[in-house]
Amino acid sequence: MLNSLLPFFHWVDRTTIGNWVRDSTWAFASIEVIHLFGLTLLLGTLVVVNLRMFGWGLTANSLADVASDAIPFMISAMVVTIITGMLLFSAETMKCYDSPPFIAKMVLLAAALLFTFTFHRHLTKKDRPPSPASKFAACLSMALWVSVGLAGRAIAFF
């Protein structure tokens, strides 16, 4: 499957942005710092919402209120993280081509986004007492997003 994407990887590798990030002294490091800040904000908002799904923390507020208050921060963090991730990818495209952690990260990212905006979002729309389903969703949400971060970190070692 990845062989069919080789022309795309070559194209991204030769883009002006990819060359600039790769050849600049500070661009990659600066973009990576912003990427990590975005990931930290994303995980922070998810932790707050997931703890509330467990019935812990911010118990004076409804789950729906906590989730709706967190959404703008979560969306902003996702946008920042995805944009900076694409910039980082453009600088290391051919390294990522054969990287098992990169493939794992992309699969996990797709699963985390899908889960966050479907099942997880559905559970946070109404204020319900913590249930086994909400606790499982909170655990799965954190596992998926932490796995995305760990797979991303592993890219540097392969």
Domains of the chain by residue range: 2-157
Higher pLDDT, 126 or 81: 81
- DSSP letter at 2? G
More confident residue, 130 or 17: 17
The whole-number pLDDT of residue 75 equals 93
Question: How far, in Å, CA of 102 to CA of 107, rounded?
Answer: 9
CA distance 137 to 140: 5
Query: Using one digit for the tens of pLDDT, what is the confidence trace for 87-107?
Result: 999 999 999 998 999 999 999
**Mean pLDDT of the region 103-131:** 87
Instruction: Give residue 156's pLDDT.
Output: 87
Whether residue 28 has pLDDT greater than 60: yes
Confidence of residue 1 (pLDDT cuts 50, 70, 90): low
Q: Average pLDDT of the chain?
A: 91
Structure tokens at 23: 């050849």
Q: Exposure string (b/e) for 139-158, b if CB count within 10 Å is 16 or more? A: ebbbebbebbbebbeebeee
